[in-house]
Amino acid sequence: MKKEYLIITFLLILGILPALSQNSGCPSQTYILDHPYQVEKITPPKGHKIKNVILMIGDGMSLMHVYSAWTANRGKLWLDNSQYIGLSKTYCSNRLITDSGAGGTALATGYKTNYHSVGVDTNGKPLKSLCTLAKEKGKSSGIAVTCRLWDATPADFCCHNVDRDQEMAIVTDYVDCGIDYVFGGGAAYFENRPDGRDLFKELQNKSYQTPRNWEDVENVKNGKVFAIPYEKDTPIPAERGDLLARASLKGLDLLNQNKKGFFMMIEGSQLDDYGHSNDLDMLMQETMDFDRTIGEVLKWAAKDGETLVVITADHETGGLTLVDGDLNEGKIVCKFSTNEHSGVMVPVYSFGPGSENFSGIYENTDIFWKIKKLLKL
Ligand SMILES: [Zn+2]
Q: How far is the CA of 59 from the centre of ligand 1 (A)?
A: 4
CA distances from 363 to 67, 91, 107, 296, 366 (A): 23, 9, 10, 28, 5
In 190-327 the beta strands, taken as DSSP E runs, fall at 208-209, 224-230, 262-268, 307-312, 316-317, 321-326
Confidence (pLDDT) at 304: 98
- The whole-chain average pLDDT of the chain stands at 94
Residue 303 has pLDDT above 80, yes or no: yes
84-89/140-148 β-pairing = unpaired
Residue 13 has pLDDT above 60, yes or no: no
Q: How far is the CA of 100 from the centre of ligand 1 (A)?
A: 3
Q: How far is the CA of 273 from the centre of ligand 1 (A)?
A: 9
Burial of 27 (0-12, 13-18, 19+ CB in 10 A): exposed
Confidence (pLDDT) at 26: 77
Q: How far is the CA of 315 from the centre of ligand 1 (A)?
A: 6
In the chain, what are the domains?
29-374 (3.40.720.10)
pTM, rounded to two decimals:
0.93
Residues in the chain: 377
Cα gap 70→294, rounded to integer Å: 14
Q: How far is the CA of 58 from the centre of ligand 1 (A)?
A: 8
Residue 14 has pLDDT above 60, yes or no: no
Q: How far is the CA of 143 from the centre of ligand 1 (A)?
A: 16
Residue 137 near residue 176, CB atoms below 8 Å? no
Nearest by Cα to 98 from 367, 348, 344, 362: 344
Residues contacting 10, CB < 8 A, separation 6+: none
Q: How far is the CA of 151 from the centre of ligand 1 (A)?
A: 9
Confidence (pLDDT) at 342: 97
331-335/29-32 β-pairing = antiparallel
Q: How far is the CA of 309 from the centre of ligand 1 (A)?
A: 19
User: pLDDT band for position 6 (50/70/90)?
Assistant: low
pLDDT per position as a tens digit, 36-58: 999 999 999 999 999 999 999 99
Q: How far is the CA of 147 from the centre of ligand 1 (A)?
A: 11
Q: How far is the CA of 102 from the centre of ligand 1 (A)?
A: 9
Cα gap 34→331, rounded to integer Å: 9
CA distances from 75 to 232, 238, 285, 307, 330 (A): 34, 22, 16, 27, 8
**Residue 276 phi, psi dihedral angles, 5° rounding:** -60, -40
Q: How far is the CA of 114 from the centre of ligand 1 (A)?
A: 14
Cα gap 316→350, rounded to integer Å: 19
Cα gap 317→239, rounded to integer Å: 24
Burial of 28 (0-12, 13-18, 19+ CB in 10 A): middle
Residue 141 near residue 263, CB atoms below 8 Å? yes
**DSSP assignment of 130-181:** HHHHHHHTT-EEEEEEEEETTSHHHHHHH--BS-TT-HHHHGGGHHHH--SE
Average pLDDT over residues 198-220: 97
Percent of all residues in the chain with a pLDDT value above 70, rounded to a whole number: 93
Q: How far is the CA of 99 from the centre of ligand 1 (A)?
A: 6
